[in-house]
Amino acid sequence: MEPADLVREIADALTQIDPAAPMPLAGRRALVTSGPTHEPIDPVRYIANRSSGRQGHAIAAALARLGAETTLISGPTNLPDPPGVSMRFVTTARDMMAACEAALPVDVAVFASAVADWRSADRVDAKIKKTAGTVPTIDLVENPDILATISQMTDRRPTLVVGFAAETEAVNENAEAKRRRKRCDWIVANSVAGSSAFGADDNTVTLIGDGLHDAWPEMTKEKVADRLAARIADHLGSTP
Ligand code: CTP
């Protein structure tokens, strides 16, 4: 077997789904984005970022464990598919946008992906050749903002939309400004200064919403996922 398949089989075998465990999200639908996007420059080069996808994958797994019918839309990662989750694999921001729209309607959407903000404006189907003494210029155009688009939908907006804000300074202030600008309900603020967050095991986050400012201690990304899923279940449980 391929190593990734082997890891998935072992994870599936070890995941003890306790039939007596409470499933507060049974009957609810969830959408999660995870990982980076890759934006081609030509057939061999691309623009990307350091996202590992660990946080987003852990959130999808946590929502599924609580009973949600969960779709995980993943950019390129090296992670095994979380058990009990429907996977959609994408490469670019535009593919991710289309896959998100196709997954609607959902009760909750969590946008944990580090979507590339820009893509090349030029044709990408021919390799850029090196010419001695000159360097190429890459013109960029803006990618769709998936979180903002889905937060501002009038017809199929999920009941609860959760964004992430990866910041290096003024973390909570920038995150709150981002929440208002994009119009999501909650934003998970995390610092990506230095070596933390991107690719790390642990995360230190603050959950911010209207009248909500909850600073969580440093914990593993899996624990952040479990806690966020529990908060989502509480919120949706009180929403008819
Ligand atoms: N996001 C998105 N689509 C994009 C860019 C970001 O859905 N094209 C989402 C991310 O999944 C995350 C949130 O928006 O939930 C914030 O992402 P971040 O990269 O921190 O914000 P940006 O809008 O890129 O702002 P900046 O890079 O200026 O901080």
Mutation test residue for ligand 1: of 39, 57, 147, 186, the one with most atoms within 8 Å of CB: 147
Distance 48 CA to ligand 1 centre (A): 14
pLDDT tens-place string over residues 81-99: 998 999 999 999 999 999 9
- Round to whole Å and give the CA distance between 96 and 36: 10
**Token code pair at residue 108:** 């909750």
Would you state the pLDDT for residue 240?
62
Indicate whether 37 pLDDT > 60.
yes
- Which atom of ligand 1 is nearest to 143's Cα? 8
Helices 221-237 and 54-65: crossing angle, nearest 10°? 40
What's the CATH number for 24-236?
3.40.50.10300
Residue with tokens 């021919």: 126
Q: What letter would DSSP give residue 120?
A: E
Domain ranges of the chain: 24-236
Distance 165 CA to ligand 1 centre (A): 7
Would you state the pLDDT for residue 103?
98
Mutation test residue for ligand 1: of 92, 145, 152, 203, the one with most atoms within 8 Å of CB: 145
Point out the residues that are catalytic: 49
Would you state the pLDDT for residue 217?
94
Ligand 1 pocket, residues with Cβ under 6 angstroms: 33, 93, 111, 113-115, 117, 143, 145-147, 163-166, 178
The pTM assigned to this predicted structure is 0.91
Tell which wins on pLDDT, 17 or 82: 82
- Round to whole Å and give the CA distance between 232 and 107: 10
Asked if residues 47 and 119 have their Cβ atoms less than 8 Å apart, the reply is yes
**Token code pair at residue 181:** 């600008």
For the chain, give the mean pLDDT.
93
- Which atom of ligand 1 is nearest to 147's Cα? 7
CB atoms within 10 A of CB 149: 13
